[in-house]
Amino acid sequence: MIILGSTSEVAQAFVEKALQEGEKFEKVYLFTSNKETTERFARHIDVKFLQQSEIIELDLTKEIDYNIFEHINSTLLFCAIGYLGEGTEEGLYDNRNTQQIIEINYSKLVPVINYFAHKFENRRSGTIIGLSSVAGDRGRQSNFIYGSAKAAFTAYLSGLRNYLFDKKVHVMTIKPGFMATKMTEGLPLNPKLTASPKQAADCIYKAFKKQKNTTYVLPIWGVIMMIIRNIPEFIFKKLKL
């Protein structure tokens, strides 16, 4: 299994869930920009599940050396990489913030997924799970740079699913609403609309077993976003969302 964004608590909960359910992986490849924290998780799965793992450094703000990925073979890729950055009030006119949000959530991430998609395509098997966001369903004034990068990522996953369908590779789009993780630490999230990492991982694992195409992490978000998507633009532009 390949994990992109290994310090994500959702990614870690997904690995635990899959191992608990008895999924077998020759190795878990933990891609991370934060080696030290990932080493703790690697030790944890080694002790608890006797699962071999390998840590691979990946920082999307830096040059990527694809040669170090060459030996990696897998049938499952789980991508939890994401970067919220500053919202509109603080960050809209900060070009570095804008660039980082677009690079980490989309433009630097897509070539990495493509690299492994190509391997899956050649082997004619595998599943790619990408964590996008409800923020990509419609641009809202509070965080539309992040939302637009996630919208692009959602469109990419949709196209990749379509392209790889007859090559026997399945692509899943996960659209979390709020999740209580380090990304949202300190934000005033409505608990009824917020999933814990374990809840999210359980939901994603269930969707994986059912080979779903697109899944909202809490079903209520599917309803909320259907309403938001259908508000006429002449009303929507006046709302403070």
Ligand X SMILES: NC(=O)c1ccc[n+]([C@@H]2O[C@H](COP(=O)([O-])OP(=O)(O)OC[C@H]3O[C@@H](n4cnc5c(N)ncnc54)[C@H](OP(=O)(O)O)[C@@H]3O)[C@@H](O)[C@H]2O)c1
Stretch that binds ligand X, among 41-49, 79-87, 114-122, 206-214 (CB under 6 A): 79-87
The answer to whether 90 contacts ligand X (rule: CB under 6 A) is no
* Minimum CB distance to ligand X, residue 167 (Å): 25
Alpha carbon distance 91, 61 (integer Å)? 18
142 binds ligand X (CB under 6 A): no
Q: Residue 6, interface with ligand X (CB under 6 A)?
A: yes
Q: How deeply is 185 buried, as exposed, middle or buried, from its count of CB atoms within 10 A (0-12, 13-18, 19+)?
A: exposed
Joined together, the tokens standing for residue 190 give 């409505």
Beta-carbon contacts of 142 under 8 Å, excluding residues fewer than 6 positions away, are 87, 88, 241
Task: Write down the least CB distance from residue 195 to ligand X, Å.
Answer: 8
User: Nearest CA to 61 among 86, 96, 88?
Assistant: 96
Q: Is 54 in the site for ligand X (CB under 6 A)?
A: no
Number of residues forming the site for ligand X (CB under 6 A): 28
Report the distance separating Cα 60 and Cα 108, nearest Å: 6
Q: Report the alpha-carbon distance of residue 66 to residue 76 in Å, rounded.
A: 19
Q: For ligand X, what does the binding mask look like between residues 7 and 46, x meaning CB under 6 A?
A: xxxx---------------------xxx---x--------
Write each residue from 159 to 188 as x if it is in contact with ligand X (CB under 6 A), else as -, in one continuous string. -----------------x-xx-xxxx----
In the complex, minimum distance from the CB of residue 1 to ligand X, in angstroms, rounded to a whole number: 15
Q: Please identify, using beta-carbon distances, which residue of 124 and 182 lies nearer to ligand X.
A: 182
DSSP string, 181-215: SGGGTTS---GGGEE-HHHHHHHHHHHHHTT-SEE
Q: Where are any strands of DSSP class E within 69-225?
A: 76-79, 127-131, 170-175, 178-179, 194-195, 214-216
- Asked if residue 133 binds ligand X (CB under 6 A), the reply is yes
Which range touches ligand X (CB under 6 A), out of 15-23, 55-63, 69-77, 90-98? 55-63
Q: Measured from the CB atom, is 39 or 121 closer to ligand X?
A: 39
Residue with smaller CB distance to ligand X, 38 or 97 = 38
Q: What are the CA-CA distances from residue 89 to residues 62, 86, 142 (Å)?
A: 27, 8, 7
59 binds ligand X (CB under 6 A): yes
Subset of 177-236 contacting ligand X (CB under 6 A):
178-179, 181-184
Which amino acid is present at 73?
A: N
Which positions lie near ligand X, rule CB under 6 A?
5-10, 32-34, 38, 58-61, 80-83, 104, 131, 133, 176, 178-179, 181-184
